Amino acid sequence: MNFLRKIFRKEPIYPEVVTAYFNKLPKYIQVEWFRDSNFIVGKIVTDTNDELFTQGRNPDDFVEMVNDAVYTAYDVRPQYIDVMHRTRRFYRPPADEWQKLNDDKVEKSAFRLEKRPVAV
């Protein structure tokens, strides 16, 4: 019964919970990545030295997977992940690193991403 309830019944989204999840995330993450065939493979180290690993087929997918790995590691519920993306509360590489991710000639790199507070 609970399974069916979860499928058909949307849980309300509370702004306070969004803020709590956002504050729970690391203040910064360090991302080291390299290209392996058709994938970009990355190691993520959080400000508390937690290590996460992920991969993506292209730069957009890779950045999405980096965020997904962090959200999963910090137990952010899926409906709140969607809200965090819509309110731009996620990790994005700086412009110069974004160019490296999009340049197939760059085999590997590393960058630090900081969590930035935003107004709701």
pLDDT in tens, 90-100: 888 889 999 99
pLDDT per position as a tens digit, 5-60: 555 667 788 889 988 998 999 999 999 999 999 999 999 999 999 999 999 999 99
Whole-angstrom Cα distance, residue 76 to residue 73? 8
E strands of the chain, at which residues?
Answer: 28-36, 39-46, 51-56, 108-114
What is the DSSP-derived secondary structure letter of residue 115?
Answer: -
Whether residue 65 has pLDDT greater than 90: yes
CA 47 – CA 27 distance, rounded (Å):
6
Residues paired with 58 in a beta bridge: none
Average pLDDT over residues 108-118: 83
**Would the pTM count as exceeding 0.75?**
yes
